[in-house]
Structure 1
Protein backbone atom coordinates (compact mmCIF):
# COMPACT_ATOMS: atom_id res chain seq x y z
CA UNK A 1 0.00 0.00 0.00
CA UNK A 2 1.23 3.48 -0.87
CA UNK A 3 0.32 4.78 2.60
CA UNK A 4 2.75 2.26 4.15
CA UNK A 5 5.77 3.66 2.29
CA UNK A 6 8.30 5.60 4.34
CA UNK A 7 11.72 7.10 3.63
CA UNK A 8 14.96 7.57 5.52
CA UNK A 9 16.43 11.06 5.85
CA UNK A 10 19.05 10.12 3.23
CA UNK A 11 16.32 9.11 0.76
CA UNK A 12 14.37 12.33 1.44
CA UNK A 13 17.53 14.36 0.76
CA UNK A 14 17.97 12.63 -2.61
CA UNK A 15 14.30 13.00 -3.57
CA UNK A 16 14.20 16.72 -2.77
CA UNK A 17 17.79 17.29 -3.96
CA UNK A 18 18.77 18.96 -0.68
CA UNK A 19 21.34 18.20 2.00
CA UNK A 20 20.64 15.84 4.88
CA UNK A 21 21.09 18.74 7.28
CA UNK A 22 18.31 20.63 5.48
CA UNK A 23 16.07 17.59 5.96
CA UNK A 24 16.87 17.60 9.68
CA UNK A 25 16.15 21.32 9.78
CA UNK A 26 12.71 20.73 8.23
CA UNK A 27 12.04 18.01 10.83
CA UNK A 28 13.28 20.26 13.60
CA UNK A 29 10.93 23.09 12.54
CA UNK A 30 7.96 20.72 12.32
CA UNK A 31 7.57 21.19 8.58
CA UNK A 32 8.28 17.52 7.87
CA UNK A 33 6.77 15.07 10.42
CA UNK A 34 9.11 12.21 11.30
CA UNK A 35 9.32 9.30 13.72
CA UNK A 36 12.00 7.00 15.03
CA UNK A 37 12.43 3.34 14.10
CA UNK A 38 15.30 2.06 16.23
CA UNK A 39 18.15 4.54 15.67
CA UNK A 40 16.78 5.76 12.35
CA UNK A 41 14.42 8.63 11.58
CA UNK A 42 11.76 7.98 8.91
CA UNK A 43 9.24 10.12 7.04
CA UNK A 44 6.03 8.70 5.59
CA UNK A 45 5.43 9.14 1.86
CA UNK A 46 2.12 10.91 2.52
CA UNK A 47 3.86 13.45 4.78
CA UNK A 48 6.47 14.07 2.12
CA UNK A 49 3.72 14.69 -0.45
CA UNK A 50 1.99 17.10 1.93
CA UNK A 51 5.23 19.01 2.41
CA UNK A 52 5.72 19.26 -1.36
CA UNK A 53 2.14 20.53 -1.80
CA UNK A 54 2.69 23.16 0.89
CA UNK A 55 5.97 24.23 -0.72
CA UNK A 56 4.08 24.74 -4.01
CA UNK A 57 1.30 26.67 -2.26
CA UNK A 58 -1.34 24.04 -3.10
CA UNK A 59 -4.18 22.85 -0.85
CA UNK A 60 -3.35 19.64 1.00
CA UNK A 61 -5.23 16.70 2.40
CA UNK A 62 -4.95 15.98 6.12
CA UNK A 63 -4.09 12.40 7.08
CA UNK A 64 -4.55 10.74 10.44
CA UNK A 65 -1.32 9.56 12.05
CA UNK A 66 -0.68 6.42 14.11
CA UNK A 67 -0.44 7.07 17.85
CA UNK A 68 3.09 5.74 18.10
CA UNK A 69 4.57 8.41 15.81
CA UNK A 70 6.68 11.10 17.44
CA UNK A 71 5.52 14.29 15.75
CA UNK A 72 6.94 17.80 16.05
CA UNK A 73 3.68 18.82 17.76
CA UNK A 74 4.39 16.40 20.65
CA UNK A 75 6.18 19.20 22.49
CA UNK A 76 9.60 17.58 22.32
CA UNK A 77 12.46 19.82 21.28
CA UNK A 78 14.55 18.35 18.49
CA UNK A 79 18.33 18.52 18.88
CA UNK A 80 20.37 17.92 15.71
CA UNK A 81 23.72 16.35 16.65
CA UNK A 82 26.34 16.24 13.89
CA UNK A 83 29.45 14.10 13.57
CA UNK A 84 30.47 10.52 12.88
CA UNK A 85 32.16 9.21 16.02
CA UNK A 86 30.52 6.46 18.08
CA UNK A 87 30.97 8.60 21.20
CA UNK A 88 28.18 10.80 19.81
CA UNK A 89 25.88 7.79 19.58
CA UNK A 90 26.61 7.08 23.24
CA UNK A 91 25.94 10.71 24.15
CA UNK A 92 22.64 10.58 22.24
CA UNK A 93 21.62 7.46 24.15
CA UNK A 94 22.37 9.16 27.48
CA UNK A 95 20.33 12.24 26.52
CA UNK A 96 17.35 10.00 25.74
CA UNK A 97 17.92 8.09 28.98
CA UNK A 98 17.88 11.20 31.18
CA UNK A 99 14.91 13.08 29.72
CA UNK A 100 11.85 12.75 27.51
CA UNK A 101 11.83 16.47 26.74
CA UNK A 102 14.26 16.26 23.81
CA UNK A 103 14.44 14.23 20.62
CA UNK A 104 18.07 13.89 19.41
CA UNK A 105 18.63 13.48 15.66
CA UNK A 106 22.04 12.19 14.50
CA UNK A 107 23.49 13.62 11.29
CA UNK A 108 26.75 12.09 10.03
CA UNK A 109 28.40 15.23 8.67
CA UNK A 110 32.08 16.27 8.67
CA UNK A 111 33.56 18.87 11.03
CA UNK A 112 33.71 21.92 8.78
CA UNK A 113 30.30 21.35 7.22
CA UNK A 114 28.92 20.86 10.74
CA UNK A 115 30.15 24.27 11.85
CA UNK A 116 28.74 25.89 8.73
CA UNK A 117 25.39 24.20 9.38
CA UNK A 118 25.44 25.59 12.93
CA UNK A 119 26.04 29.09 11.56
CA UNK A 120 23.03 28.57 9.28
CA UNK A 121 20.87 27.39 12.18
CA UNK A 122 20.54 23.81 10.93
CA UNK A 123 22.46 22.05 13.73
CA UNK A 124 22.36 22.35 17.53
CA UNK A 125 25.25 20.27 18.87
CA UNK A 126 28.25 20.10 16.57
CA UNK A 127 31.34 17.91 16.92
CA UNK A 128 34.60 19.06 15.39
CA UNK A 129 38.27 18.07 15.11
CA UNK A 130 39.88 20.68 12.88
CA UNK A 131 43.61 21.40 13.18
CA UNK A 132 44.91 24.89 12.52
CA UNK A 133 48.35 24.19 11.09
CA UNK A 134 49.78 27.63 11.88
CA UNK A 135 49.04 27.50 15.62
CA UNK A 136 48.82 23.75 16.22
CA UNK A 137 45.50 24.41 17.98
CA UNK A 138 42.42 22.29 17.39
CA UNK A 139 38.96 23.69 16.64
CA UNK A 140 38.99 27.08 18.39
CA UNK A 141 40.51 29.09 15.48
CA UNK A 142 37.85 27.75 13.09
CA UNK A 143 35.00 28.26 15.57
CA UNK A 144 36.06 31.84 16.32
CA UNK A 145 36.04 32.70 12.61
CA UNK A 146 32.79 30.96 11.68
CA UNK A 147 30.69 31.80 14.76
CA UNK A 148 31.74 35.42 15.16
CA UNK A 149 28.95 37.33 16.93
CA UNK A 150 27.43 34.18 18.46
CA UNK A 151 27.52 33.25 22.17
CA UNK A 152 28.80 29.67 22.35
CA UNK A 153 30.49 27.08 24.51
CA UNK A 154 33.09 24.50 23.41
CA UNK A 155 33.49 21.39 25.58
CA UNK A 156 35.83 18.47 25.03
CA UNK A 157 34.21 15.12 24.31
CA UNK A 158 37.33 12.94 23.87
CA UNK A 159 40.86 13.09 22.57
CA UNK A 160 42.10 10.45 20.14
CA UNK A 161 45.12 9.60 18.02
CA UNK A 162 45.10 10.46 14.30
CA UNK A 163 47.60 9.22 11.75
CA UNK A 164 48.15 6.81 8.85
CA UNK A 165 46.38 3.56 8.04
CA UNK A 166 48.84 1.22 6.30
CA UNK A 167 48.73 -2.42 5.31
CA UNK A 168 49.91 -5.03 7.80
CA UNK A 169 53.67 -4.79 8.26
CA UNK A 170 53.75 -1.47 6.38
CA UNK A 171 55.26 -3.00 3.21
CA UNK A 172 55.62 0.43 1.52
CA UNK A 173 57.48 1.81 4.58
CA UNK A 174 55.27 4.88 4.88
CA UNK A 175 56.30 6.94 7.91
CA UNK A 176 56.05 10.62 6.95
CA UNK A 177 53.75 12.98 5.04
CA UNK A 178 56.40 13.28 2.31
CA UNK A 179 56.18 9.53 1.75
CA UNK A 180 52.75 10.09 0.20
CA UNK A 181 54.46 11.57 -2.87
CA UNK A 182 56.68 8.54 -3.54
CA UNK A 183 56.22 6.57 -6.74
CA UNK A 184 54.22 3.40 -6.16
CA UNK A 185 52.38 4.78 -3.10
CA UNK A 186 48.63 5.16 -3.56
CA UNK A 187 46.45 6.86 -0.97
CA UNK A 188 42.73 7.09 -0.28
CA UNK A 189 41.42 10.42 1.02
CA UNK A 190 38.52 11.72 3.12
CA UNK A 191 35.88 14.11 1.78
CA UNK A 192 36.36 17.88 1.83
CA UNK A 193 35.44 19.44 5.17
CA UNK A 194 36.21 16.37 7.28
CA UNK A 195 38.71 16.67 10.11
CA UNK A 196 41.02 14.08 8.55
CA UNK A 197 41.02 15.96 5.23
CA UNK A 198 41.82 19.25 6.99
CA UNK A 199 44.67 17.53 8.89
CA UNK A 200 46.15 16.25 5.63
CA UNK A 201 45.72 19.50 3.73
CA UNK A 202 47.24 21.56 6.54
CA UNK A 203 50.31 19.30 6.62
CA UNK A 204 50.70 19.52 2.85
CA UNK A 205 50.40 23.32 3.02
CA UNK A 206 53.01 23.63 5.77
CA UNK A 207 55.43 21.29 3.99
CA UNK A 208 54.88 22.88 0.58
CA UNK A 209 53.61 19.65 -0.99
CA UNK A 210 51.17 19.89 -3.90
CA UNK A 211 48.19 17.54 -3.81
CA UNK A 212 48.93 16.83 -7.47
CA UNK A 213 52.04 14.94 -6.36
CA UNK A 214 49.92 12.37 -4.49
CA UNK A 215 48.42 9.40 -6.32
CA UNK A 216 44.87 8.86 -5.05
CA UNK A 217 44.39 12.29 -3.47
CA UNK A 218 41.09 12.75 -5.33
CA UNK A 219 39.78 9.30 -4.34
CA UNK A 220 37.45 10.08 -1.40
CA UNK A 221 35.64 8.03 1.23
CA UNK A 222 33.03 9.50 3.58
CA UNK A 223 34.19 7.94 6.86
CA UNK A 224 37.20 6.47 8.67
CA UNK A 225 36.06 2.88 8.21
CA UNK A 226 35.77 3.41 4.46
CA UNK A 227 39.35 4.70 4.27
CA UNK A 228 40.74 1.90 6.47
CA UNK A 229 38.76 -0.66 4.46
CA UNK A 230 40.34 0.44 1.17
CA UNK A 231 43.78 0.02 2.73
CA UNK A 232 42.86 -3.38 4.20
CA UNK A 233 41.74 -4.72 0.79
CA UNK A 234 44.84 -3.41 -1.00
CA UNK A 235 42.98 -0.81 -3.06
CA UNK A 236 45.18 1.82 -1.41
CA UNK A 237 48.47 1.80 0.49
CA UNK A 238 47.71 4.58 2.95
CA UNK A 239 44.94 6.77 4.32
CA UNK A 240 44.50 9.29 7.12
CA UNK A 241 42.16 8.64 10.03
CA UNK A 242 41.71 7.79 13.69
CA UNK A 243 43.18 4.84 15.55
CA UNK A 244 39.92 3.12 16.46
CA UNK A 245 39.03 2.31 12.84
CA UNK A 246 42.40 0.57 12.38
CA UNK A 247 41.52 -1.93 15.14
CA UNK A 248 38.07 -2.54 13.72
CA UNK A 249 39.25 -3.16 10.15
CA UNK A 250 42.59 -4.86 10.84
CA UNK A 251 45.25 -2.54 9.42
CA UNK A 252 48.35 -1.08 11.04
CA UNK A 253 48.21 2.42 12.44
CA UNK A 254 50.99 5.04 12.56
CA UNK A 255 50.04 7.85 14.99
CA UNK A 256 51.04 11.43 14.19
CA UNK A 257 48.96 13.64 16.45
CA UNK A 258 46.58 13.56 19.41
CA UNK A 259 43.52 15.37 18.16
CA UNK A 260 40.91 17.06 20.30
CA UNK A 261 37.33 16.10 19.52
CA UNK A 262 35.16 18.92 20.87
CA UNK A 263 31.46 19.75 21.07
CA UNK A 264 30.14 23.19 20.11
CA UNK A 265 26.80 24.58 21.31
CA UNK A 266 25.15 27.98 20.77
CA UNK A 267 24.19 29.58 24.10
CA UNK A 268 20.73 30.86 23.24
CA UNK A 269 18.08 31.04 26.00
CA UNK A 270 16.09 28.16 24.48
CA UNK A 271 19.21 25.96 24.42
CA UNK A 272 20.46 26.44 27.98
CA UNK A 273 18.43 23.62 29.59
CA UNK A 274 19.69 20.92 27.25
CA UNK A 275 23.24 22.36 27.27
CA UNK A 276 23.28 21.91 31.06
CA UNK A 277 22.01 18.36 30.56
CA UNK A 278 24.86 17.63 28.11
CA UNK A 279 27.42 19.11 30.54
CA UNK A 280 26.05 16.92 33.31
CA UNK A 281 26.26 13.79 31.15
CA UNK A 282 29.84 14.56 30.06
CA UNK A 283 30.87 14.81 33.71
CA UNK A 284 29.13 11.63 34.81
CA UNK A 285 30.99 8.43 35.59
CA UNK A 286 28.33 6.34 33.82
CA UNK A 287 29.07 8.11 30.54
CA UNK A 288 32.85 8.04 30.99
CA UNK A 289 32.85 4.38 31.94
CA UNK A 290 31.01 3.56 28.72
CA UNK A 291 33.61 5.49 26.73
CA UNK A 292 36.45 3.74 28.60
CA UNK A 293 35.22 0.41 27.23
CA UNK A 294 36.11 1.61 23.71
CA UNK A 295 39.77 1.40 22.72
CA UNK A 296 41.48 4.56 21.47
CA UNK A 297 39.90 7.30 23.60
CA UNK A 298 41.73 9.65 25.96
CA UNK A 299 39.25 11.03 28.52
CA UNK A 300 41.64 13.32 30.39
CA UNK A 301 39.83 16.43 29.05
CA UNK A 302 36.32 15.02 28.74
CA UNK A 303 33.79 17.55 30.02
CA UNK A 304 36.32 20.41 30.21
CA UNK A 305 35.20 23.77 28.85
CA UNK A 306 37.79 24.75 26.21
CA UNK A 307 36.33 28.20 25.49
CA UNK A 308 33.12 30.05 26.33
CA UNK A 309 31.96 33.21 24.58
CA UNK A 310 29.08 35.35 25.86
Structure 2
Protein backbone atom coordinates (compact mmCIF):
# COMPACT_ATOMS: atom_id res chain seq x y z
CA UNK A 1 0.00 0.00 0.00
CA UNK A 2 1.27 3.48 -0.91
CA UNK A 3 1.93 5.63 2.19
CA UNK A 4 1.35 9.38 2.50
CA UNK A 5 5.04 10.13 2.06
CA UNK A 6 5.19 8.27 -1.26
CA UNK A 7 2.08 10.06 -2.49
CA UNK A 8 3.54 13.43 -1.54
CA UNK A 9 6.72 12.74 -3.52
CA UNK A 10 4.72 11.68 -6.58
CA UNK A 11 2.18 14.51 -6.36
CA UNK A 12 2.42 17.63 -8.48
CA UNK A 13 1.95 21.06 -6.91
CA UNK A 14 0.71 24.23 -8.57
CA UNK A 15 0.73 27.91 -7.71
CA UNK A 16 -2.35 30.12 -8.18
CA UNK A 17 -1.07 31.02 -11.66
CA UNK A 18 -0.43 27.37 -12.52
CA UNK A 19 -3.88 26.35 -11.27
CA UNK A 20 -5.52 29.12 -13.31
CA UNK A 21 -3.81 27.77 -16.44
CA UNK A 22 -4.79 24.18 -15.53
CA UNK A 23 -8.46 25.14 -15.05
CA UNK A 24 -8.50 27.58 -18.01
CA UNK A 25 -9.78 30.41 -15.79
CA UNK A 26 -8.46 33.80 -14.66
CA UNK A 27 -6.26 33.90 -11.56
CA UNK A 28 -8.84 36.18 -9.90
CA UNK A 29 -11.36 33.35 -10.14
CA UNK A 30 -8.95 31.09 -8.25
CA UNK A 31 -8.85 33.57 -5.37
CA UNK A 32 -12.65 33.87 -5.48
CA UNK A 33 -12.99 30.09 -5.14
CA UNK A 34 -10.50 30.13 -2.26
CA UNK A 35 -12.43 32.88 -0.53
CA UNK A 36 -15.66 30.89 -0.82
CA UNK A 37 -13.95 27.85 0.72
CA UNK A 38 -14.73 25.66 -2.30
CA UNK A 39 -11.17 24.99 -3.45
CA UNK A 40 -8.72 22.55 -1.79
CA UNK A 41 -5.41 24.30 -1.18
CA UNK A 42 -2.72 24.94 1.41
CA UNK A 43 -0.45 27.86 2.29
CA UNK A 44 3.32 27.48 2.47
CA UNK A 45 5.58 30.46 3.25
CA UNK A 46 2.65 32.76 2.59
CA UNK A 47 1.80 31.38 -0.86
CA UNK A 48 -1.04 29.15 -1.94
CA UNK A 49 -0.15 25.70 -3.26
CA UNK A 50 -2.51 23.18 -4.84
CA UNK A 51 -2.13 19.42 -5.16
CA UNK A 52 -2.96 18.26 -8.69
CA UNK A 53 -4.26 14.97 -7.25
CA UNK A 54 -6.67 16.80 -4.91
CA UNK A 55 -7.72 19.29 -7.60
CA UNK A 56 -8.54 16.42 -9.98
CA UNK A 57 -10.63 14.75 -7.27
CA UNK A 58 -12.39 18.08 -6.57
CA UNK A 59 -13.16 18.53 -10.29
CA UNK A 60 -14.62 15.02 -10.51
CA UNK A 61 -16.80 15.67 -7.45
CA UNK A 62 -18.02 19.01 -8.88
CA UNK A 63 -18.85 17.38 -12.21
CA UNK A 64 -20.95 14.68 -10.53
CA UNK A 65 -22.76 17.22 -8.36
CA UNK A 66 -23.59 19.31 -11.42
CA UNK A 67 -24.78 16.26 -13.38
CA UNK A 68 -27.07 15.23 -10.52
CA UNK A 69 -28.58 18.74 -10.34
CA UNK A 70 -29.12 18.95 -14.10
CA UNK A 71 -30.73 15.52 -14.13
CA UNK A 72 -33.08 16.55 -11.32
CA UNK A 73 -34.10 19.66 -13.24
CA UNK A 74 -34.40 17.85 -16.56
CA UNK A 75 -37.03 15.58 -15.03
CA UNK A 76 -39.37 18.57 -14.96
CA UNK A 77 -39.52 18.38 -18.76
CA UNK A 78 -41.17 15.20 -20.00
CA UNK A 79 -38.97 13.45 -22.56
CA UNK A 80 -35.78 15.32 -21.62
CA UNK A 81 -32.65 13.22 -21.15
CA UNK A 82 -29.26 13.86 -19.57
CA UNK A 83 -26.17 12.55 -21.34
CA UNK A 84 -22.44 12.66 -20.63
CA UNK A 85 -19.25 11.39 -22.16
CA UNK A 86 -17.32 11.97 -25.32
CA UNK A 87 -17.35 14.93 -27.65
CA UNK A 88 -17.80 15.14 -31.42
CA UNK A 89 -18.80 17.98 -33.77
CA UNK A 90 -21.35 15.76 -35.51
CA UNK A 91 -22.86 14.77 -32.14
CA UNK A 92 -23.30 18.44 -31.27
CA UNK A 93 -25.18 18.98 -34.55
CA UNK A 94 -27.29 15.86 -33.93
CA UNK A 95 -28.33 16.97 -30.45
CA UNK A 96 -29.24 20.41 -31.82
CA UNK A 97 -31.30 18.81 -34.61
CA UNK A 98 -33.10 16.62 -32.07
CA UNK A 99 -33.90 19.64 -29.91
CA UNK A 100 -35.54 21.35 -32.89
CA UNK A 101 -37.45 18.27 -34.05
CA UNK A 102 -38.61 16.49 -30.88
CA UNK A 103 -41.25 18.36 -28.82
CA UNK A 104 -40.04 18.35 -25.23
CA UNK A 105 -37.23 15.94 -26.16
CA UNK A 106 -34.24 18.03 -25.18
CA UNK A 107 -30.94 16.22 -24.56
CA UNK A 108 -28.63 17.94 -22.08
CA UNK A 109 -25.11 16.70 -22.72
CA UNK A 110 -21.95 17.21 -20.64
CA UNK A 111 -18.49 16.75 -22.15
CA UNK A 112 -16.72 14.65 -19.52
CA UNK A 113 -14.78 12.14 -21.63
CA UNK A 114 -15.87 8.57 -22.38
CA UNK A 115 -14.70 7.04 -19.09
CA UNK A 116 -16.38 9.61 -16.85
CA UNK A 117 -19.55 9.48 -18.95
CA UNK A 118 -19.78 5.73 -18.45
CA UNK A 119 -19.05 6.07 -14.75
CA UNK A 120 -21.78 8.71 -14.40
CA UNK A 121 -24.22 6.38 -16.19
CA UNK A 122 -23.26 3.49 -13.94
CA UNK A 123 -23.86 5.59 -10.83
CA UNK A 124 -27.23 6.81 -12.06
CA UNK A 125 -26.32 10.44 -12.73
CA UNK A 126 -27.16 10.29 -16.45
CA UNK A 127 -29.50 8.50 -18.87
CA UNK A 128 -27.01 8.13 -21.73
CA UNK A 129 -23.23 7.84 -22.16
CA UNK A 130 -21.36 8.65 -25.40
CA UNK A 131 -18.25 6.48 -25.74
CA UNK A 132 -15.46 5.33 -28.07
CA UNK A 133 -13.20 3.29 -25.79
CA UNK A 134 -10.89 0.84 -27.53
CA UNK A 135 -10.50 -2.73 -26.27
CA UNK A 136 -6.79 -3.26 -26.93
CA UNK A 137 -7.13 -7.06 -26.72
CA UNK A 138 -9.80 -7.36 -29.41
CA UNK A 139 -9.33 -4.17 -31.42
CA UNK A 140 -13.07 -3.44 -31.04
CA UNK A 141 -14.71 -0.47 -29.35
CA UNK A 142 -16.97 -0.29 -26.30
CA UNK A 143 -16.89 -4.03 -25.65
CA UNK A 144 -18.60 -5.33 -22.47
CA UNK A 145 -15.18 -5.96 -20.95
CA UNK A 146 -14.15 -2.32 -21.43
CA UNK A 147 -17.32 -0.44 -20.52
CA UNK A 148 -18.08 -2.86 -17.69
CA UNK A 149 -15.13 -1.40 -15.75
CA UNK A 150 -17.10 1.81 -15.32
CA UNK A 151 -20.74 0.68 -15.25
CA UNK A 152 -20.65 -1.57 -12.21
CA UNK A 153 -23.73 -3.79 -12.03
CA UNK A 154 -25.92 -1.61 -14.24
CA UNK A 155 -27.40 -3.47 -17.21
CA UNK A 156 -27.12 -1.50 -20.45
CA UNK A 157 -27.25 -1.82 -24.20
CA UNK A 158 -24.80 -0.34 -26.70
CA UNK A 159 -26.09 1.32 -29.87
CA UNK A 160 -23.75 2.23 -32.72
CA UNK A 161 -24.06 5.83 -33.92
CA UNK A 162 -21.30 6.29 -36.51
CA UNK A 163 -17.68 5.59 -37.40
CA UNK A 164 -15.28 8.51 -37.58
CA UNK A 165 -11.75 9.30 -38.74
CA UNK A 166 -9.29 10.26 -36.00
CA UNK A 167 -5.73 11.46 -36.48
CA UNK A 168 -3.19 14.23 -36.05
CA UNK A 169 -4.37 17.78 -36.66
CA UNK A 170 -1.47 20.02 -37.68
CA UNK A 171 -0.95 23.44 -39.22
CA UNK A 172 -2.00 23.82 -42.86
CA UNK A 173 0.42 21.97 -45.11
CA UNK A 174 1.85 20.06 -42.11
CA UNK A 175 5.06 22.16 -42.12
CA UNK A 176 6.78 20.00 -39.51
CA UNK A 177 6.04 16.75 -41.29
CA UNK A 178 4.26 15.11 -38.35
CA UNK A 179 3.27 11.61 -39.44
CA UNK A 180 3.55 9.25 -36.44
CA UNK A 181 3.59 9.25 -32.62
CA UNK A 182 7.39 9.06 -32.77
CA UNK A 183 7.39 12.63 -34.13
CA UNK A 184 5.81 13.93 -30.91
CA UNK A 185 9.08 13.60 -28.96
CA UNK A 186 10.96 15.88 -31.32
CA UNK A 187 12.20 19.07 -29.60
CA UNK A 188 10.57 21.27 -32.26
CA UNK A 189 7.08 19.77 -31.75
CA UNK A 190 4.63 21.12 -29.17
CA UNK A 191 1.60 18.90 -28.46
CA UNK A 192 -1.90 19.68 -27.18
CA UNK A 193 -3.60 16.80 -25.37
CA UNK A 194 -7.16 15.89 -24.41
CA UNK A 195 -8.32 15.65 -20.81
CA UNK A 196 -7.71 12.53 -18.73
CA UNK A 197 -10.40 9.89 -19.16
CA UNK A 198 -11.29 10.97 -22.69
CA UNK A 199 -11.22 8.27 -25.36
CA UNK A 200 -8.77 10.33 -27.45
CA UNK A 201 -6.36 10.63 -24.54
CA UNK A 202 -6.55 6.90 -23.83
CA UNK A 203 -5.98 6.16 -27.53
CA UNK A 204 -2.96 8.47 -27.60
CA UNK A 205 -1.48 6.87 -24.48
CA UNK A 206 -2.04 3.38 -25.92
CA UNK A 207 -0.23 4.32 -29.13
CA UNK A 208 2.67 5.75 -27.12
CA UNK A 209 2.94 2.60 -24.99
CA UNK A 210 2.94 0.43 -28.11
CA UNK A 211 5.78 2.52 -29.53
CA UNK A 212 7.73 2.45 -26.24
CA UNK A 213 7.55 6.24 -25.88
CA UNK A 214 7.58 7.99 -22.50
CA UNK A 215 4.89 10.72 -22.49
CA UNK A 216 7.14 12.74 -20.20
CA UNK A 217 9.37 13.44 -23.17
CA UNK A 218 6.59 15.14 -25.15
CA UNK A 219 6.34 18.92 -24.89
CA UNK A 220 2.82 19.96 -23.93
CA UNK A 221 1.58 16.46 -23.06
CA UNK A 222 0.21 17.62 -19.70
CA UNK A 223 -1.59 20.59 -21.27
CA UNK A 224 -5.12 19.45 -22.03
CA UNK A 225 -8.37 20.71 -23.54
CA UNK A 226 -11.83 19.16 -23.46
CA UNK A 227 -13.05 19.14 -27.06
CA UNK A 228 -11.91 18.36 -30.59
CA UNK A 229 -12.55 21.94 -31.65
CA UNK A 230 -10.30 23.24 -28.86
CA UNK A 231 -7.50 21.00 -30.16
CA UNK A 232 -7.93 22.49 -33.62
CA UNK A 233 -8.07 26.05 -32.31
CA UNK A 234 -4.85 25.55 -30.31
CA UNK A 235 -3.10 24.38 -33.48
CA UNK A 236 -4.60 27.13 -35.64
CA UNK A 237 -3.53 29.80 -33.12
CA UNK A 238 0.03 28.45 -33.08
CA UNK A 239 -0.11 27.39 -29.44
CA UNK A 240 0.54 23.79 -30.49
CA UNK A 241 1.99 22.02 -33.53
CA UNK A 242 -0.18 18.93 -33.28
CA UNK A 243 -3.04 17.28 -31.43
CA UNK A 244 -5.31 14.28 -31.94
CA UNK A 245 -8.85 15.00 -33.12
CA UNK A 246 -11.47 14.04 -35.69
CA UNK A 247 -10.76 14.88 -39.31
CA UNK A 248 -13.87 17.10 -39.45
CA UNK A 249 -12.15 19.67 -37.20
CA UNK A 250 -9.18 19.93 -39.56
CA UNK A 251 -11.50 20.50 -42.52
CA UNK A 252 -13.59 23.08 -40.69
CA UNK A 253 -10.53 25.08 -39.58
CA UNK A 254 -8.42 24.70 -42.71
CA UNK A 255 -5.76 22.54 -41.03
CA UNK A 256 -3.83 19.48 -42.20
CA UNK A 257 -4.94 16.01 -41.13
CA UNK A 258 -2.91 12.80 -40.78
CA UNK A 259 -5.24 9.78 -40.24
CA UNK A 260 -4.40 7.41 -37.38
CA UNK A 261 -7.47 5.17 -37.09
CA UNK A 262 -11.22 4.84 -37.55
CA UNK A 263 -13.28 4.72 -34.36
CA UNK A 264 -16.73 3.43 -33.48
CA UNK A 265 -18.70 6.14 -31.69
CA UNK A 266 -21.53 4.59 -29.67
CA UNK A 267 -24.37 5.35 -27.27
CA UNK A 268 -24.70 3.34 -24.04
CA UNK A 269 -27.98 3.35 -22.13
CA UNK A 270 -30.47 1.04 -20.44
CA UNK A 271 -33.23 -0.62 -22.46
CA UNK A 272 -36.01 1.52 -21.02
CA UNK A 273 -34.22 4.67 -22.16
CA UNK A 274 -33.45 3.07 -25.54
CA UNK A 275 -37.18 2.68 -26.24
CA UNK A 276 -38.00 6.23 -25.16
CA UNK A 277 -39.50 8.58 -27.72
CA UNK A 278 -36.48 10.91 -27.50
CA UNK A 279 -33.88 8.24 -28.25
CA UNK A 280 -35.90 6.63 -31.04
CA UNK A 281 -36.43 10.04 -32.65
CA UNK A 282 -32.71 10.81 -32.30
CA UNK A 283 -31.85 7.60 -34.18
CA UNK A 284 -34.45 8.38 -36.84
CA UNK A 285 -32.81 11.76 -37.43
CA UNK A 286 -29.29 10.28 -37.56
CA UNK A 287 -30.36 7.58 -40.03
CA UNK A 288 -32.29 10.03 -42.17
CA UNK A 289 -31.00 11.18 -45.55
CA UNK A 290 -31.64 14.85 -44.75
CA UNK A 291 -29.35 14.91 -41.70
CA UNK A 292 -26.61 12.81 -43.30
CA UNK A 293 -26.62 15.06 -46.35
CA UNK A 294 -26.38 18.15 -44.13
CA UNK A 295 -23.18 16.87 -42.47
CA UNK A 296 -21.61 15.26 -45.52
CA UNK A 297 -19.35 18.25 -46.02
CA UNK A 298 -17.60 17.49 -42.71
CA UNK A 299 -16.16 14.30 -44.23
CA UNK A 300 -14.67 11.38 -42.33
CA UNK A 301 -17.95 9.87 -41.06
CA UNK A 302 -19.52 6.51 -41.95
CA UNK A 303 -23.19 5.73 -41.22
CA UNK A 304 -23.27 2.16 -42.59
CA UNK A 305 -24.00 0.61 -39.15
CA UNK A 306 -25.94 3.48 -37.58
CA UNK A 307 -28.62 2.27 -35.16
CA UNK A 308 -27.28 -1.26 -34.86
CA UNK A 309 -27.52 -2.83 -31.39
CA UNK A 310 -24.05 -4.05 -30.44
CA UNK A 311 -24.94 -5.54 -27.05
TM-score band by shorter chain is 0.7 to 0.9
Tell me if 1:134 matches 2:134.
no
Displacement, 1:270?
6.1
SS class of match (1:90): helix
The equivalent residue for 1:79 is 81
1:198 pairs, out of 195, 199, 202, with 202
**What's the counterpart of residue 29 of structure 1?**
72
CA distance in 1, matches of 2:134, 2:192: 20
Partner Cα separation in structure 1 for residue 274 and residue 158 of structure 2:
14
Deviations 1:221-249 (A, max 9, x none): 22112222222232222111111111122
Supply the distance in 2 between the matched residues of 1:228 and 1:93 (Cα, whole angstroms): 21
* Range with bigger deviation, 119-128 or 78-87: 78-87
Return 86-95 or 105-114, whichever deviates more: 86-95
Q: Deviations over 1:34-71 (max 9, x none)?
A: 8xxxxxxxxxxxxxxxxxxxxxxxxxxxxxxxxxxxxx
Contact 1:21/1:123 (<8 A) preserved: no
Q: Is the alpha carbon distance of 1:101 and 1:234 closer, same or farther for their aligned partners in structure 2, counting shifts above 3 Å? A: closer
Unaligned runs of 5+ in 1: 1-10, 35-71
The alignment partner of 2:263 has SS state of: strand
Helix, strand or coil: the match of 1:102?
Answer: coil
Q: Which has the higher helix share?
A: 2
- Root-mean-square deviation (Å): 2.7
CA separation in 2, counterparts of 1:89 and 1:234?
A: 25
Q: Distance in 2 between matches of 1:160 and 1:118?
A: 23
Distance 1:158 1:291, change over 3 A: farther
**What's the TM-score, normalizing by structure 1?**
0.72
Q: Summarize the alignment of residues 112-191 of structure 1 with structure 2, pairs less than 5 Å apart.
A: 112-140=115-143, 141-191=145-195
Q: Secondary structure, in 3 states, of the residue corresponding to 1:197? A: helix
- Separation (CA, whole Å) in 2 of partners of 1:88 and 1:289: 15
The CA deviation at 1:299 is 1.5
